[in-house]
Structure 1
């Protein structure tokens, strides 16, 4: 069996062993969450001396474990398999398939309306109980942010460690691919890093797999789960987002485009609900716009990036391979994988138009933050000519602060810094060397 090592995530799991928290591994379907737990992490535990009998592996997608979607039955099953005082590791795959069940022992008439949730047992209740036992360490995976990521702090009562998993980074892809860096980059830009697509032996197999995967996730994780009735409008919206990754937009603009071009018959409110569904399924990430000098966020417009360029290209039938936008998308995903928060930067500058001096807003592709660190990054596929270079640099030079400023261009240029403190680097070394950001 071919194994693509995911050392970045394995280290996080090892570091969090028996920390008194539920380890919640989130991410888009088929990005490798189940394989990480059931194969890579299991192998690590066995190599460390853990008995196979002390690893309880439950996959709620499998027919044999379907009954365990009932949290009460899940709880009983785990305790039945933890009879000895030895340390046990409990893996529950696709926990979002668990449903809540009514508690028969509670008199419903005694519960006020605002506390009706207390009438039900959920997987949160079960997992919170299990991690309170000294010999049980719990790990769960989930493919839906609405049921997991956004509710972790509240429902796990601050007793959860979230590990968000992405498709293969370029560095992970390159370690596996049998080709030089330039050829690997060209392939990664088109087919992305979904593990089974990477393992496919031909381009035709990759394209077929990615098209089918996007369609199945689209249908199961969005249309069915969210009860979408206007599937035509959702499909047109998804194509619009995929076609314009990295472009500023808002629900009103999207609704106008869909109604004018595709006659989708969709309202701003419905567009907003569909966008939320696409985010909750991890197919797209929304990035907010930040006024660098004014130190405030704008409500709109925002940007959207695809979780994987291969899935994005598959949805468009591999007809819009635009290197400029795809490179920007890859850089965004890489920054998020490394644990940074990312915003779109806006800087107010004074410019001449029609012979008049006017204030305008210019864009910085990424305002990157982690703790006290901050970087400004411009993505520029080519920097041909002085005019193009100055166009990219102008908003960076107008930030009014001394945080590092980086221009990432296409190619393999090693980093160098000009006399204004701007660092230039090719996208390939940027993606392969985290030390470039310090």
Structure 2
């Protein structure tokens, strides 16, 4: 099954031959290996690169186990390279974090004049730290995410059409209804965007795949990498965060939850350490609070979102299907997929109550930045009446600046601009049109 990941492939192509290490990072099973070893390799072959000039190592494959040793790996690669050739050799290393002293190996390859290096990795802290320091400005990170909704939607339609073609069938009214963005959304917001989900036919298979992946791949990987002794504590933390996506929290609140719900004593430093492990593995992401009028970060509490909503749903056994919070998580992921920095906004106001001025803190779901582009976004599943509209617009109106202000709603709407400059966008329009925010 061919799934286009053109956003990432084009970035890799743009960075070819720049004498820097191209590092593709992201959560395991999001498609990094497929991007590197299928899509990019196919691009190289189409460009006329010969197979013997493409050196591939999948370090998570047992047959390459001996090459996880630095000297063995470096010598293996160098033996395949003719340093006198005027043709480029492309080195593609999958799961590079499994290679000991990988920084030394990669820096050594950079000294070869006819070598272009691409690697994948699944550990945020391990790689981003080294990109910034050890490579001394000679590493380019290409951050990869699970399928965005638009990627998922396109692949979903292609698969369904191929099924019909194989049956020599024609699209009927029921088929067209099943392939609308709203219909596909129901699948996406339940099972998320890990590519293999598209190869599974039944709900039972999808649910089992995600549940097993959480335990057998992600949690086990985190436990083994960080030598976690109390797995039950880490496991419970994941469940607590999964039950509270999109809500402000901090380590102390989580400690209190352990004490009240599970009668378990756990320290704040331990919780912070576990959260760091989950972030390093790209399992969850943190959105910090930003004081809009004060123009500064506030600190705790913060919000946590799951890198893939299907994994979150698996952690709560597909029971807590609050579409409001799920939609917020998906919008957050979509914004990051588009390359925006995303924070939670706070607006402090004074409001008169019973002849007294009282301080109030209003929240804006997302403060979005990229270069000179900035906007504020509220996620609202529906806006059924005027009271709900006032609730959603109050914080936006009180920012005191002229940056674009947007409400994204599940209710189908064409873009609407209100008198106060607030724009309303339908969720499907936002997810499918990548330039929907700054039109």
Indicate conservation of the 8 Å contact 2:103/2:130, yes or no.
no
Residue 262 of structure 1 deviates from its aligned partner by 1.1
Report the more deviating stretch, 348-357 or 329-338. Answer: 348-357
Deviations 1:227-268 (A, max 9, x none): 222222211111111111111000011111112111222111
Q: Provide the secondary structure at the position in 2 that maps to 1:436.
A: coil
Report the more deviating stretch, 297-306 or 177-186. Answer: 177-186
- 1:143 lines up with 2:122 in the alignment: yes
Aligned to 1:361: 361
Aligned to 1:97: 98
- 1:173 lines up with 2:174 in the alignment: no
Query: 1: distance between equivalents of 2:418 and 2:106?
Result: 54
Indicate conservation of the 8 Å contact 1:236/1:262, yes or no.
no
Residue 8 of structure 1 deviates from its aligned partner by 0.7
Gaps of 5+ in 2: 158-178
Query: 2: distance between equivalents of 1:138 and 1:35?
Result: 16
Aligned to 1:132: 111
Indicate conservation of the 8 Å contact 1:58/1:65, yes or no.
yes
Aligned to 2:251: 251
Residue 383 of structure 1 deviates from its aligned partner by 0.9
Indicate the RMSD between aligned Cα atoms, in angstroms.
1.2
Indicate conservation of the 8 Å contact 2:219/2:235, yes or no.
no
Query: 2: distance between equivalents of 1:350 and 1:262?
Result: 39
Aligned to 1:219: 219
Aligned to 1:291: 291
Residue 220 of structure 1 deviates from its aligned partner by 2.5
Query: 2: distance between equivalents of 1:224 and 1:45?
Result: 36
Query: 1: distance between equivalents of 2:129 and 2:410?
Result: 35
Indicate conservation of the 8 Å contact 2:347/2:399, yes or no.
yes
Deviations 1:212-239 (A, max 9, x none): 1111233332112112222222111111
Query: 2: distance between equivalents of 1:70 and 1:419?
Result: 64
Aligned to 1:264: 264
Aligned to 1:205: 205
- 1:53 lines up with 2:52 in the alignment: yes
Q: Provide the secondary structure at the position in 1 that maps to 2:214.
A: helix
Runs of 4+ in 1 over 2 A off after TM superposition: 217-221, 351-357
Aligned to 1:160: 139
Residue 356 of structure 1 deviates from its aligned partner by 3.4
Aligned to 2:313: 313
Q: Provide the secondary structure at the position in 1 that maps to 2:140.
A: strand
Aligned to 1:374: 374
Q: Provide the secondary structure at the position in 2 that maps to 1:176.
A: helix
